[in-house]
Every structure is written in structure tokens, then in C-alpha cells.
């Protein structure tokens, strides 16, 4: 129990809850000291309560030095930095491979950091969306992130297909906010022979629902489809085992839970069984050819039998440093420990939200089962606009959450840097901002 168990005044209750939050923070600290937490513009506390790491993660303190070191190498060495920088630029991307693979449960040959998320999804669909005969459809969730919807619709058009009939959007049952696993697997069992590609979000951006990735992957593959995952909201948030789950391909960004900065470089996974397959179409460039052949300057590439064959251009070194810094942090803490703290922190926020939402026009729409969600809790507001509410939370209480119009506000206590006190501030701010029924 977080709250007191005797009759108390409202103010005593609030004070006791705040002390409880401080006690929990002392007992279960995160790594907040490794991050820059923005100053608050409103409210009683000097720093914001930052619950928007599902949108953009905070800056690790180590990132600036990493960037400065890369700049210094360039000023000192010019072109020789390709080979002589402390971390030579030519093979720089290889430094990111093993830690990225650990994070998503992949083998190093299956993982590479490159480009940005939607670019990578397109490059992967060049290989893995190959409509043929009656098998042309792409399955997404109706609440897919809009850019995924744009991407698959444009892929359908690219193949001369009508996006309105090619893209199937799965919707939750009437009166439900999230998809059940059977909603997806039953559809695949019934109509899977028309499906070329299943492309879903591992954690849904809007509801925070964690999909059953292994079950859906198995159902899609059993139906003869290729199964890919957009892991933007899953990577660094929940444990992943992409290799063992037999996922065909996946892509993710690094600016949310991976704290690598706005527009940061993204990651890609291609399952081992597809590596080195000469029958797979791929777009190629300089970095698609095996490293040993890169300077032979021949007209025909010789791609390696690894996911690096999907690389195209030489990578932006200044964008790689922040990803490296971040992945080192994940390696140091470890995803299992992060997930444990995440379950405690999000469970705590859920209990506080239950108190606040009980008599207000607010409802948590994220699944209640901790195994079916990451750290994010999404709240549907019954009155007013989500944008207006998040503005008031920020300016009046220093609480940074994120609005998805018209009526969803998302709160993500991130286990690396969020605190129990941040969670308490969310509940306190909502109680002060949203009128009771």
C-alpha cells in the first residue's frame, strides 16, 4: 500500500504520499545523476518531472564529451581520422553492433545501426515486402504510428497496388482500447494466405500495449507471411529476444528510450536465416560491400553475409557517438535490472493514477497486466484537450508529459532516470488540474 491506512485529512494524505515517494527513491534509486534533467518553468521543484522519455529521452551527461572528442579528432587529423582517430571512423559502426545486438536479443551479424527508423523500414520492405499472386496484403494495427501507415501505403503504391485494399488495419474489439493477441492471430489463421507482410509496433505508441511478439511472429510465419516489427517504443523499454523469437526483421529509433538525441541514428535487425541470401532484393551503396572490398573500387559489390549488406552510405560519425554512449549505459545496467525497476516504477504510478482517476474524467487505457506493457501509461481524458492538459501540467507543475490529440496523455516513467517522486508529481498535478466529476 502506498497510501496511509487511517482517516486523514486530504493534505496529510498528500504529504504522506510524497514522503512515501521519497522513501521509495532512497530504497530504489535509478541513474538520474548520469543525465541532464531540464529545469522546471513552473511548479514547486527546480527540475521538471520528465515523463516524456517515450518521445525523446534525456541527454546523458557523457554525450557532450563523446561528441567533443569526435570533433577534436577531426580537427587534429582531418581525413586521417578514418584510420587514426582514437575510434577510427572507417569501422566506427562496428562498435555499436554488439551492444545493440545485446539489447534486442540478436546475434551481432543480425544487427546494425544506420539511418533513421522509417528509412530503414523502407529499406527492409524493399527486401521483405514482395507481393505476389494473391499474397499482397500488409497487416498493421489501426493505431499504428502514422508514419508506419504512410510507409506501408507508399510501399503498396510503389508495387502498383491500391493502398486502401492492400493495407489491412486491425482494430480492437468494440469497447476495448487495445488489440488482444487472438485478434491478430485469428485474423492470420483465417486470412493469412493473402498476407505478404505483418508489420506491427512492438509496444504501441498510443496505448503503451506490449504485443506478444513471439506469438504473433509465429502465427504470421505459419501463415506464410513475413513478420517485421517497429520497435521504436520497445527497444530499451522491454526485454527483447528477436533471434529466438524468429522475427524476420525489425527496426527501431534511438531517440526515445535509448537517449541518443533528436533524430538519432536507428537500428536494424535481420534474422540470420535471411543473411547472405542472394535472392533477396536490396538497395546498395558503398557500405553494402564487405569492408575488405570497400577500397577495391570495383563496379560490382561483394556484400557480406551479415545485415551490414543493408547499409548504403558511410555513416555520420558525429551521430554515432551519442548512440555509443547510450548503449554503454544499457550494457552497464543491463536490461533485466532495468525491467525490474521499470515494473516497480510503473506499478507505483499506476496505483497513484488509480486514486486520481477514480473520481475524475480520466481513464488509464494501457493494459493492466505488467507483462503486456512497458513503462508507459496512457491516460484518456474525458473532458478538454490533451494538448491543453499537458501545457497546464508543464507550466503550472513542471510535469513534462506528452499529448496525443484529441484525448490521450502519455506518461512514461523511464527506469534509467525517472523517480518515484516524479510519479507522485504526476498524480499530484493531475489531481490539482483536472476537476472531479
Ligand X SMILES: Cc1ncc(COP(=O)(O)O)c(C=O)c1O
- Please state, in angstroms and as integers, the Cα–Cα distance from residue 411 to each residue in 187, 359, 425, following that order: 31, 19, 11
Check the annotation: does 417 bind a ligand: no
Decide: is 141 part of the binding site for ligand X (CB under 6 A). no
Check the annotation: does 390 bind a ligand: no
Count of residues interacting with ligand X (CB under 6 A): 12
Cβ of residue 121: shortest distance to ligand X, in angstroms? 7
Candidate residues 201, 228, 236, 303; the one interacting with ligand X per rule CB under 6 A: 201
- Please state, in angstroms and as integers, the Cα–Cα distance from residue 39 to each residue in 48, 220, 231, following that order: 6, 46, 30
Closest residue by Cα to residue 375 from 331, 422, 329, 407 = 422
Strand boundaries in 278-334, DSSP class E: none
Candidate residues 233, 341, 380, 394; the one interacting with ligand X per rule CB under 6 A: 233
The piece of 145-153, 158-166, 308-316, 327-335 that touches ligand X (CB under 6 A) is 145-153
Name residue 131's beta-bridge partners.
none
Check the annotation: does 121 bind a ligand: no
Is the Cβ of residue 255 or residue 330 nearer to ligand X in the bound state? Answer: 255
Candidate residues 116, 293, 385, 387; the one interacting with ligand X per rule CB under 6 A: 116
Is the Cβ of residue 81 or residue 201 nearer to ligand X in the bound state? Answer: 201
DSSP code per residue over 193-207: GGEEEEEEESB-TTT
Cβ of residue 249: shortest distance to ligand X, in angstroms? 14
Q: Are 196 and 138 in contact, with CB atoms under 8 Å apart?
A: yes
Q: Terminus-to-terminus CA distance in the chain, angstroms?
A: 25
Decide: is 117 part of the binding site for ligand X (CB under 6 A). yes
Cβ of residue 336: shortest distance to ligand X, in angstroms? 24
Is the Cβ of residue 20 or residue 212 nearer to ligand X in the bound state? Answer: 212
Decide: is 401 part of the binding site for ligand X (CB under 6 A). no
Decide: is 232 part of the binding site for ligand X (CB under 6 A). yes
The piece of 142-150, 285-293, 301-309, 371-379 that touches ligand X (CB under 6 A) is 142-150
Decide: is 205 part of the binding site for ligand X (CB under 6 A). yes
Closest residue by Cα to residue 85 from 97, 95, 76 = 76
Q: Are 107 and 101 in contact, with CB atoms under 8 Å apart?
A: yes
Buried/exposed 399-410: b ≥16 CB within 10 Å, e otherwise? bbbbbbeebbbb
Decide: is 171 part of the binding site for ligand X (CB under 6 A). no
| Residue 212: other Cβ atoms inside 10 A | 19
Check the annotation: does 255 bind a ligand: yes
Is the Cβ of residue 111 or residue 204 nearer to ligand X in the bound state? Answer: 204
Under the phi-then-psi rule, with left for phi > 0, alpha for psi from -120 to 50, and beta for the rest, what region is 263? left
Cβ of residue 198: shortest distance to ligand X, in angstroms? 15
Candidate residues 35, 128, 145, 330; the one interacting with ligand X per rule CB under 6 A: 145
Q: Look up residue 113 and give its three cell numbers.
A: 545501426
Check the annotation: does 293 bind a ligand: no
Under the phi-then-psi rule, with left for phi > 0, alpha for psi from -120 to 50, and beta for the rest, what region is 336? alpha
The piece of 111-119, 280-288, 405-413, 428-436 that touches ligand X (CB under 6 A) is 111-119
Check the annotation: does 286 bind a ligand: yes
Decide: is 16 part of the binding site for ligand X (CB under 6 A). no
Measure the CA–CA gap between 338 and 336, rounded to whole angstroms: 5
Check the annotation: does 150 bind a ligand: no
Q: How many CA atoms lie within 13 A of 316 on its CB side?
A: 12
Q: How many CA atoms lie within 13 A of 237 on its CB side?
A: 37
Cβ of residue 409: shortest distance to ligand X, in angstroms? 16
Residues 6 or more apart in contact with residue 292 via CB below 8 angstroms: none
Which residues of the shown chain bind ligand X in the complex (CB under 6 A)? 116-118, 145, 147-148, 201, 205, 230, 232-233, 253
Q: Specify binding-site residues.
A: 117-118, 145-148, 230, 233, 255, 286, 314
Q: Specify binding-site residues for pyridoxal 5'-phosphate.
A: 117-118, 145-148, 230, 233, 255, 286, 314
Amino acid at each position: 500500500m502506498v497510501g496511509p491506512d487511517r482517516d486523514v485529512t486530504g493534505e496529510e494524505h498528500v504529504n504522506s504520499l510524497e514522503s512515501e515517494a521519497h522513501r521509495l527513491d532512497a530504497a530504489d534509486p535509478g541513474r538520474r545523476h548520469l543525465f541532464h534533467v531540464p529545469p522546471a518553468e513552473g511548479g514547486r521543484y527546480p527540475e521538471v518531472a520528465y515523463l516524456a522519455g517515450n518521445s525523446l529521452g534525456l541527454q546523458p551527461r557523457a554525450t557532450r564529451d563523446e561528441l567533443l572528442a569526435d570533433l577534436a579528432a577531426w580537427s587534429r587529423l582531418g581525413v586521417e581520422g578514418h584510420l587514426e582517430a582514437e575510434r577510427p571512423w572507417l569501422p566506427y559502426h562496428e562498435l555499436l553492433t554488439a551492444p545493440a545486438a545485446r539489447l534486442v536479443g540478436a546475434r551481432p551479424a543480425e544487427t546494425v545501426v544506420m539511418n533513421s527508423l522509417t528509412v530503414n523500414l523502407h529499406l527492409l520492405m524493399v527486401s521483405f515486402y514482395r507481393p505476389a499472386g494473391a499474397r499482397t496484403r500488409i497487416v498493421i494495427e489501426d493505431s499504428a504510428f502514422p508514419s508506419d501507415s504512410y510507409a506501408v501505403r507508399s510501399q503498396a503504391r510503389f508495387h502498383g497496388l491500391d493502398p486502401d485494399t492492400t493495407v489491412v488495419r486491425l482494430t480492437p474489439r468494440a469497447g476495448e482500447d487495445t488489440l488482444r493477441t487472438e485478434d491478430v492471430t485469428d485474423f492470420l489463421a483465417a486470412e493469412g494466405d493473402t498476407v505478404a507482410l505483418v508489420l506491427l509496433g512492438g509496444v504501441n505508441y498510443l496505448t503503451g500495449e506490449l504485443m506478444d511478439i513471439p506469438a504473433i511472429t509465429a502465427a504470421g510465419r505459419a501463415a506464410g507471411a513475413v513478420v517485421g516489427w517497429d520497435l521504436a517504443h520497445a527497444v530499451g523499454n522491454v526485454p527483447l529476444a528477436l533471434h529466438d523469437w524468429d522475427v524476420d526483421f525489425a527496426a527501431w529509433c534511438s531517440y526515445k528510450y535509448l537517449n541518443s538525441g533528436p533524430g538519432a541514428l536507428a537500428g536494424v535487425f535481420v534474422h540470420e536465416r535471411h543473411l547472405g541470401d542472394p535472392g533477396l532484393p536490396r538497395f546498395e551503396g558503398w557500405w553494402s560491400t564487405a569492408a575488405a572490398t570497400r577500397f577495391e573500387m570495383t563496379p560490382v559489390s561483394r556484400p557480406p553475409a551479415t545485415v551490414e549488406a543493408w547499409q548504403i552510405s558511410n555513416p555520420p560519425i558525429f551521430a554515432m557517438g551519442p548512440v555509443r554512449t547510450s548503449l554503454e549505459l544499457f550494457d552497464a545496467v543491463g536490461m533485466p535490472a532495468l525491467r525490474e525497476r521499470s515494473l516497480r516504477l510503473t506499478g507505483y504510478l499506476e496505483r497513484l493514477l488509480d486514486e486520481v482517476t477514480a473520481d475524475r474524467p480520466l481513464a488509464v487505457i494501457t493494459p493492466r497486466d505488467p507483462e503486456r506493457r512497458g513503462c508507459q501509461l496512457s491516460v484518456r481524458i474525458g473532458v478538454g484537450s490533451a494538448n491543453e492538459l499537458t501545457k497546464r501540467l508543464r507550466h503550472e507543475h513542471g510535469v513534462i508529459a506528452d499529448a496525443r490529440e484529441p484525448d490521450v496523455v502519455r506518461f512514461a516513467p523511464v527506469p534509467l532516470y525517472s523517480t518515484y517522486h516524479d510519479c507522485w508529481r504526476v498524480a499530484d498535478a493531475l489531481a490539482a488540474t483536472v476537476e472531479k466529476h
